[in-house]
Amino acid sequence: MSKKLYIKTYGCQMNVYDTVRMHDVMAPLGYSAAESYEDADMVILNTCHIREKADEKVYSDLGRIRKEKDRKTASGEKMLVAVGGCVGQAEGAEIIKRAPYVDMVFGPQSYHQLPEMVTKAIRDNGGVVELDFAPVDKFDKLPEVSNSQGVSAFLSVQEGCDKFCSFCVVPYTRGVEYSRPFATVMTEARKLVDGGAKEIMLLGQNVNAYHGEGGQGGKIAGLADLIDALAQINGLERIRYTTSHPRDMSYDLIAIHGSEAKLMPYLHLPVQSGSDEILKKMNRKHKAELYFDIIDRLRKVRHDIALSSDFIVGFPGETDENFEDTMNLIRRVGYASVYSFKYSQRPGTPAAVDENQVPEMVKQERLARLQALVHEQQIAFNQSAVGKTMKVLFDRDGKHDGQLLGKSEYMQSVYVKEAPGLRGNIVDVKITAGFLNSLTGEVSYLSCERHGCTGSCAA
């Protein structure tokens, strides 16, 4: 019987990938995607636990969903409500205690068991909690990936983390570091390309720690080996990867940025802080100097590489001087984009019980100063594109009617007027303006008899 499933995704790109895979798992049971929770027979919240705010959102969304469930129950319909993802893993049965209308709770490593969980929830009227922790099991048991990701696709190759940064919940919610075997990743990539993907973003909490069994010659494949093999797939034109840890930026990975044209000139390499003292307290296990050295080596092999990072301000014990070290690191590196966060105390992590918590006002003020600096850099980077012609992959509607949105090689959002033949293609675009978060441009056509265009027609 045909049923509707609505999944709301919070947080990182790995969750976006997991959502796609949950739809794949549920499709054989007759569930197709719903546009909203009001239209759904089942709702899954695929949650994020990384910061307090992400957590709170889940409970406020659950409040709204409860009203819809009550309405449906009153009119004799049924609605299953599930909380999956990292909040599910971290809070488990507590969620059902706090919100008894939730029927199922599961973690990021258990969603391959959704069919069994649904059967149990229907039979027992809720109360299902599944917090298994074996990524090997999950990837072995997931069905083949569907063709539904379009021209730009996500592919999880690595999960979990053994680094235990003192502020982070990931090792507790996603489990130990695990790399999918090389052959499985290659098969999934070919399937995505057959389904129309021109760009693949390789995903992992520490994707550059990738070490997949069964690489060329039976060796363990590192991320550079994987990129090298993926680049041989006809039809795949762009490769990206995220998120990386500085300690796993190996020599061959840096080198391939200079030698492989399909590897896009953009790297998100979080450093979190520019202060050695704070990096030590964060248990990052490297100093700022290592980061500078990596950036220098990357720029030697690919001078135009666009860089991005994550920063946490107001980590416990962070002094004004420590914060200035971060500002100086940002000035020295020069970023194309930055994600910055106020430190958030996460239950169960060592930094959460540190007595030297930084007052909220100080965090707020530091975040504002940091963001003002990175916004200057971001605008300068985007404006430096004006007048240049860039290759843009168009994959979605823009904000306004008649607009298309795509990504430049440097990961900038580029808006153009919609025209035939642009969607799903990589097209030359002349950039006309640069803003804080986007560019606008025009597709310059050469002559084209079919459409009467006066530019290089993309159709």
| Min separation Cβ 161 and ligand SAM, Å | 6
- The two structure tokens encoding residue 267: 């790297």
C-alpha 17/C-alpha 395 separation (Å) is 17
Q: Of the two residues 191 and 286, which places its CB atom closer to ligand SF4 in the complex?
A: 286
C-alpha 405/C-alpha 393 separation (Å) is 8
C-alpha 398/C-alpha 416 separation (Å) is 8
- Indicate the SS3 state at residue 92: coil
Residue 158 as a binder of ligand SAM (CB under 6 A): the answer is: no
Look up residue 280 and give its DSSP letter. Answer: H
Among ligand SAM, ligand SF4, none, the one that 341 touches (CB under a kind-dependent 5 to 8 A) is ligand SAM
Q: Of the two residues 165 and 370, which places its CB atom closer to ligand SF4 in the complex?
A: 165
Residue 31 as a binder of ligand SAM (CB under 6 A): the answer is: no
When binding is defined by CB under 6 A, the residue of 270, 274, 434, 441 that contacts ligand SAM is: 270
Report residue 61: phi and psi, to 5°.
-65, -40
Among ligand SF4, ligand SAM, none, the one that 346 touches (CB under a kind-dependent 5 to 8 A) is ligand SAM
C-alpha 243/C-alpha 170 separation (Å) is 13
C-alpha 395/C-alpha 406 separation (Å) is 6
Q: Of the two residues 5 and 351, which places its CB atom closer to ligand SAM in the complex?
A: 351
Residue 206 as a binder of ligand SF4 (CB under 6 A): the answer is: yes
Among ligand SF4, ligand SAM, none, the one that 58 touches (CB under a kind-dependent 5 to 8 A) is none
CA dihedral (288, 365, 351, 158) positive or negative = negative
SS3 content of the chain, % helix, strand, coil (to 5): 40, 25, 35
Among ligand SF4, ligand SAM, none, the one that 164 touches (CB under a kind-dependent 5 to 8 A) is ligand SF4
Subset of 308-337 contacting ligand SAM (CB under 6 A): 310, 312
Partnered with residue 45 across adjacent β-strands are: 8, 83
Q: What is the DSSP string of 126-168?
A: S-EEE----HHHHHHHSPPPPSTTTTEEEEE-EE--S---TT-
Cβ(404)–Cβ(422) below 8 Å: yes
Among the listed ranges 195-203, 318-326, 343-351, 390-398, the one in contact with ligand SAM (CB under 6 A) is: 343-351
Residue 245 as a binder of ligand SAM (CB under 6 A): the answer is: yes
Among ligand SAM, ligand SF4, none, the one that 343 touches (CB under a kind-dependent 5 to 8 A) is ligand SAM
Name the residue with tokens 């550079």.
224
When binding is defined by CB under 6 A, the residue of 257, 346, 363, 407 that contacts ligand SAM is: 346
Among the listed ranges 27-35, 36-44, 147-155, 162-170, the one in contact with ligand SF4 (CB under 6 A) is: 162-170
| Min separation Cβ 270 and ligand SF4, Å | 7
Cα-atom radius of gyration of the chain, to the nearest Å?
23
Point out which residues bind ligand SAM (CB under 6 A): 12, 50-51, 167-168, 170, 205-206, 243, 245, 270, 272, 310, 312, 341, 343-344, 346
Point out which residues bind ligand SF4 (CB under 6 A): 161, 163-165, 168, 170-171, 205-206, 245
